[in-house]
Structure 1
Amino acid sequence: MSLRILAFVLLLLACLAGYCLAQDLDDGASPRIVGGTRAIAGQFPHQISLRRINRFVCGGSILSTSYVLTAGHCVKSGNNVTPASQLNIRAGTLLLSGGGVRVNVAQVVVHPQYRNSAGHDVAVLRLASTLQFSSLIKAISLASSDPPDNALVDISGWGAIYHNGPVSDHLLYTQVRNLARDTCKQNYYSHLSDTTMCLLHEANKGACHGDSGGPATYGGNLVGVASFVLGGCGRAAPDGYERISVLRQWIRQTAKL
């Protein structure tokens, strides 16, 4: 047996014995959302991370001192809605691992037309205690219209930095383009829901697992909520974001805005 083969066998046996350590968070060598850039303090003060039983599950956006917005699939599976008692949010920090403030969730309201598939994929969470606004914690206004076709839109989150990869400990963002709905239907997604927009990006960019529920912003307003990706993360294809312009009335009514 050659020394190279012997070394491989010994390494394999060591991993099987539990001595190979998996890295859960991005080490910062190549920060991506996929293909993203590290956010700076105060750049996305509306961004929150959502946790279930203290485990990170999704992103979200601050609507007011008492309400946040996330994706429906972040808090509902099948007919089961996650109990509010299992959920909390962290706001006011760029780091997933610490900083800012943590607030428990008191109530979960999923859009009544959400059916665990594309469309109406939003949920409003009422907080158990109010947030104290500052330069690092702010609400974001809801857009009344979609961005223009081909406009650059900011997306942000702590999601996986590549398909099936680790999440990022630092908040990342990148820019994508709002794809015309007719073009998206023709080229990518023929059954596109009326509530969903397509945000197009080149390969090795875009949203990924863990970015769900997170914001898409344009002109300082919230225009979308991360819902799904087509194929694997970082594929040269559009990501599906729920349209705030279409869902705005329900969100405002539910969050008492």
Structure 2
Amino acid sequence: MSRLLPRRVALLLGALALVVLGGLAANPVHAAPPGDGGGVITPDIVGGGYATTGRPWIAALHNNGSFTCTSSQISASWILTAAHCVPNNSGYSVRIGSLNRSSGGTVRTIDQVARHPGFNWPAYDIALLHMSQPFANSYAPMAKTSADFAVNQAATVYGWGSEHADWSGPLPERLKFANGYVSSTSCASSVMPAICTQTNGSVAGGDSGGPAIVLSPVTGTYLLSGVCAVGHKPAGSGWAAYTPIFRHWSWIAGVTGL
């Protein structure tokens, strides 16, 4: 089992054998955008398809100008991603709302990085990024309680990660997705209680920090429920583990004021 490393780090690694964490085998997953019927299903993501309709809150995270991870805008001033995507405290920017990771959308620099104080991968793999200038937008509504998701609920995952099982490049310019369902609401172990998904595509390097959007059994709407934290190399099983937002909501609210 491996974290979904930022693209440049992932390419430095050799092939990783599947490892078991807390008795649960980790295979990566790639999620799809809910209702994106226009996505063309291809064998390229690894699996999944290309998003063809806008996701205004999706954000491509760059480090000193180079794409590194996927992320989501959750307010006018804050971006949500994985803590392992931001090992440094400066040098980051985001491109918000474009289906292409290198063009379009709105670009903002990051002036504050707040990793969860308990971060020790894979535990607490979640981070908040403050933008130097606010950007009023449509934000991804978040799942704030455990009631907002359940096993077998429809799920979609997004990312600009590698389309190849070995996580090699080049990365796709167009945002990709995979569709599936929640396979567990508390997988892995007590060290890393996670949301696990099973989808028609597999996450790879560059998908880290990306969103899992889950159909809430309470509201009947899709909510941002998890942050992509764990995947398997080589990719291909359609499994992934996401840091659950509801477990860290009090920290998110305390940092952002939401």
Same fold (TM over 0.5): yes
- Residue 199 of structure 2 is aligned with which of 193, 198, 201? 201
Distance (whole Å) between structure 2 residues aligned to residue 120 and residue 29 of structure 1: 33
Distance (whole Å) between structure 1 residues aligned to residue 182 and residue 251 of structure 2: 23
Residue 61 of structure 1 corresponds to which residue in structure 2? Answer: 72
Residues 101, 199 of structure 1: CA spacing in aligned structure 2 closer, same or farther, 3 A cutoff?
Answer: same
Q: Is 102-111 or 239-248 further displaced after alignment?
A: 239-248
Residue 63 of structure 2 corresponds to which residue in structure 1? Answer: 52
Map Cα deviations across residues 142-192 of structure 1 (whole Å, 9 max, x no partner). 10225211222010011111222321100111113211357x5xxxx4x36
CA contact (8 A) 2:149 2:185 kept: no
Task: Report the 3-state secondary structure (helix = DSSP H, G, I; strand = E; otherwise coil) of the residue aligned with 1:142.
Answer: coil
Offset of residue 223 of structure 1: 0.5
Q: Which amino acid aligns with 1:93?
A: S
Q: Which amino acid aligns with 1:210?
A: G
Offset of residue 231 of structure 1: 4.0
Please tell me whether residue 176 in structure 1 is matched to residue 180 in structure 2.
yes
Please tell me whether residue 97 in structure 1 is matched to residue 102 in structure 2.
yes
- Residue 35 of structure 1 is aligned with which of 28, 47, 59? 47
Compute the TM-score of the two structures, normalised by the length of structure 2: 0.75
Q: Which amino acid aligns with 2:98?
A: T
Moved over 6 A (4+): none
Structure 2: gaps (5+ residues): 1-39, 215-220
Compute the TM-score of the two structures, normalised by the length of structure 1: 0.75
Q: Is 138-147 or 208-217 further displaced after alignment?
A: 138-147
CA contact (8 A) 1:119 1:196 kept: no
Residue 83 of structure 1 corresponds to which residue in structure 2? Answer: 89
Residues 29, 224 of structure 1: CA spacing in aligned structure 2 closer, same or farther, 3 A cutoff?
Answer: closer
Offset of residue 252 of structure 1: 1.7
Residues 32, 152 of structure 1: CA spacing in aligned structure 2 closer, same or farther, 3 A cutoff?
Answer: farther
Q: Which amino acid aligns with 2:63?
A: R
Q: Which has the higher contact order (CA 8 A, sep 6+)?
A: 2
Q: Is 160-169 or 88-97 further displaced after alignment?
A: 160-169
Residue 119 of structure 1 corresponds to which residue in structure 2? Answer: 123
Structure 1: gaps (5+ residues): 1-27, 77-81
Residue 159 of structure 2 corresponds to which residue in structure 1? Answer: 157
- Residue 149 of structure 2 is aligned with which of 147, 150, 167? 147
Residues 31, 68 of structure 1: CA spacing in aligned structure 2 closer, same or farther, 3 A cutoff?
Answer: farther
CA contact (8 A) 1:216 1:223 kept: yes
The CA RMSD measured in Å over matched residues stands at: 2.1
Count of paired positions: 209
Offset of residue 68 of structure 1: 0.5
Residue 235 of structure 2 corresponds to which residue in structure 1? Answer: 233
Identity %: 28
CA contact (8 A) 1:32 1:172 kept: no
Q: Is 145-154 or 90-99 further displaced after alignment?
A: 145-154
Distance (whole Å) between structure 1 residues aligned to residue 117 and residue 104 of structure 2: 34
Larger radius of gyration: 1
Distance (whole Å) between structure 2 residues aligned to residue 61 and residue 67 of structure 1: 9
Q: Which amino acid aligns with 2:109?
A: N
Distance (whole Å) between structure 2 residues aligned to residue 228 and residue 131 of structure 1: 30
Distance (whole Å) between structure 2 residues aligned to residue 150 and residue 192 of structure 1: 21
Distance (whole Å) between structure 2 residues aligned to residue 255 and residue 31 of structure 1: 39
Give the helix-richer structure, 1 or 2. Answer: 1
Offset of residue 100 of structure 1: 1.0
Task: Report the 3-state secondary structure (helix = DSSP H, G, I; strand = E; otherwise coil) of the residue aligned with 1:180.
Answer: strand
Q: Which amino acid aligns with 1:63?
A: I
After superposition, where does 1:202-221 map in structure 2 within 5 Å? 205-218=201-214, 219-221=221-223
CA contact (8 A) 2:95 2:106 kept: yes
